[in-house]
Amino acid sequence: MKRTVDVNIPLGPIHPCFKEPARLKCEAKGERIVGAEVELGYMKKGIERIMKGRPWQEVMFLAERVCGICSVIHNMVFIEAMEQISGISVPPRAAYLRVIVNELDRMQSHLLANFSYCYTIEHETLGMYLLDLREQVMDQLERLTGARVTCAYIIPGGVRCDIPRNDAELLQASLDRIERDLRRYSGMFAEGPMIALRSRGVGILTQEAAQRAHVVGPTARASGITADCRLNHPTYRQLGFVPVSRTDCDNFARVMVRFDEVFQSIGLIRKCLQDLPAGVIRGGGVCKAGETRYSGEAPRGELTYFIKSDEFGRIVDIQIQTPSIMNIEACCHEMIIGADSIADVTSTFVSADPCIACTER
Amino acid sequence: MTTYLYEKDLVPQKYRILVAYRHDILVRQIATELDIPVQELRRYLIEHFDMILLENLPARVEMADAHADQDDPVALVLGREKYTLYLQIMSGAAMESIFHAVSDRVRAGTAMEDAIAYGRERIREELRR
């Protein structure tokens, strides 16, 4: 007679579907997942400890090294936190340029996340198309800032360099091309019957569970929560930003929210280029003593810096709350519990766009 | 969870998470609320929680403070949803039994402070079991 036994399945730390090392210890009854635990510590950087006691000029470069995928937002949130402490204002042109760079960073991060998901569900063709688009976004980021990652573009009171007219025209043309191609690729994802089999109704995260775990970003917005830090940002308010959300609560919704947000980012960049104010890009200012909590919307959700600085602008104390902490926790304790197949564990985990580098910081 | 062969000892890493700036404030706050030593609460959390849940504790507490037990004063003081749904330091069934016992005492005329103190004592017993 066939007997159902409890099986423990450790996934990782090295796994073909994971971009970074993490260990998931799943407990299954047959194929059904009944429990999961996460083990971290395979890439701990201790970056908060390294930051303490250093001047902001050094911490600025350390902040963007927390994560190689969303380095711009770490740069932006740290600098805007220091600006808040010190009462430094930003020229309008620089504020718009910050939004352009931040949205380009969000686009490349979302395209990479959706590539990872397609790769995990064995739809490599679509994944490669998305990676090709991501390269075009990375090229624009490099043209604007001088680097693909760790750009150090945002500085207190402004940005490092302006956008020449020629570069703005090239960015416009590139956005047109990306939008045209992405419309086709997102359509392929939305209408693919095999993709739907692996994605619709899988990895359900209810709105209540998402709220309890403080889930943020596209993962929360795919569960019907419309929270987005950009709603509180003055420049995004000027641009009339409205967050996108879905209520399907499954893997499919999370990927589609990211596609929708890429289109939204294209729209925001176009609007910034169209309304780009004239004027200086650096207003200057001195970083002072103070303590603050400042949040910004990273590609994965709310990124919060708790900073305490002294009168010389040195960082006395700092703690970084990255969005992946909340999203991975909810993923492992809510989304994958009750999954009908072991194969759904990896796809559900990847659908939450987990960033272990951010989590371990 | 079943223990694995050659398993890594995670206690030092979990301890480092709990003594970080925000986590330390939070753990001390919960220990004061429940009137148990900080060391005992830390040991309980290390034994029962995995690393990612420990990392996410401050965010969960923020959400509990904003949304949990808004409609019942006894539940709010006792932490009915906070300690079960949000922080998950005890089971829902155990908390329900404690909550009903406390509510019954309040209805029977016991002073609110005394009833809550009784509830807290039951929670401590549950954590030490």
pLDDT digits (tens, 9 = 90+) for A215-238: 999 999 999 998 899 999 999 999
Q: Which of A6, A8, A37 sits opposite B50 (nearest CB)?
A: A37
Q: Is the pLDDT reported for residue A45 higher than 90?
A: no
Question: What is the model's pLDDT at position A5?
Answer: 55
d(Cα B129, Cα B14) in Å, to the nearest integer? 22
Torsion of CA B98, B104, B107, B112, to 10 degrees: -30
Q: Which domains does chain B have, with CATH numbers?
A: 11-128 (1.10.3070)
Mean pLDDT value across residues A313-321: 90
The predicted-structure confidence for B9-58, as pLDDT tens digits, reads as follows 788 889 988 988 889 999 999 999 888 999 999 999 998 888 889 999 99
Asked if the Cβ–Cβ distance from B67 to A27 is below 8 Å, we say no
Token couple for A71: 């380095």
Read off the pLDDT band of B107 (50, 70, 90): confident
Arithmetic mean of pLDDT over chain A: 90
Sign, Cα dihedral of A262, A266, A268, A272: positive
Angle in degrees, CA A141, A351, B1, rounded to 5: 130
- DSSP state at residue B2: P
Residue of chain B whose alpha carbon sits nearest to that of A320: B22
Structure tokens at B102: 């406390």
Q: Give per-residue pLDDT as tens, A193-203.
A: 888 888 888 88
Neighbours of A158 (CB within 10 A): 25
Mean pLDDT of A154-175: 91
Question: What is the least distance, in Å, from the CA of B129 to any CA of chain A?
Answer: 22
Chain A CB contacts of B56 below 8 Å: 213-214, 325-326, 329
Dist. CA A323–CA A22, nearest whole Å: 16
CA of B33 vs chain A CAs: smallest distance (Å):
20
Q: What is the mean pLDDT of residues A204-225?
A: 91
CA dihedral angle for residue A39, residue A298, residue A72, residue A164, rounded to 10 degrees: 160
Using a pLDDT cut of 90, give the percent of chain A over it. 54
pLDDT of residue A134: 94
Compute the average pLDDT of residues A5-22. 81
- Among the partner residues B52, B63, B67, nearest to A40 by beta-carbon distance: B52
DSSP H helices in chain A: 47-51, 56-63, 71-86, 92-120, 124-145, 165-191, 193-199, 207-212, 217-221, 234-238, 251-275, 323-330, 343-351, 356-360
With CB atoms and an 8 Å threshold, state whether B59 touches A211: no
* Predicted local distance difference test score (pLDDT) of residue A1: 41
Q: Which residues pair with A317 in a beta bridge?
A: A308
Picking from B1, B50, B86, the nearest residue to A27 by CB comes out as B1
Please say if the pLDDT value at position A2 is more than 70.
no
The answer to whether the beta carbons of residues A296 and A75 sit under 8 Å apart is no
For A51-360, CATH gives 1.10.645.10
Determine the 3-state secondary structure of A216 from DSSP.
coil
Nearest CA of chain B to the CA of A327: how many Å? 9
A6 interfaces chain B, CB cutoff of 8 Å:
yes
Choose, out of A33, A43, A212, A336, the residue to mutate when testing the contact with B (most B CBs < 10 Å). A212
Closest partner residue to A38 (CB to CB) among B51, B60, B64 is B51
Return d(Cα B38, Cα A345) in angstroms, integer. 36
Task: Say how many C-beta atoms besides its own lie within 10 A of residue B100's C-beta.
Answer: 10
User: And the tokens for A166?
Assistant: 């020629």
Q: What is the pTM assigned to this prediction?
A: 0.88
pLDDT tens-place string over residues A263-310: 999 999 999 999 999 889 888 888 889 999 999 999 999 999 999 999
Calculate how close chain A gets to B12, using CA atoms only, in Å: 11
Residue B3's pLDDT band, with cuts at 50, 70 and 90, is low
ipTM: 0.81
Is B58's CB within 8 Å of A35's CB?
no
Closest CA to A69 of A314, A353, A338: A353
Q: Does B55 touch chain A (CB under 8 A)?
A: yes
**By the CB < 8 Å criterion, does B3 face chain A?**
no
Q: Cα separation of A248 and A228, whole Å?
A: 18
Q: Answer yes or no: are the C-beta atoms of A360 and A44 closer than 8 Å.
A: yes
Tell me the pLDDT band of A90, cut-offs 50, 70 and 90. Answer: very high
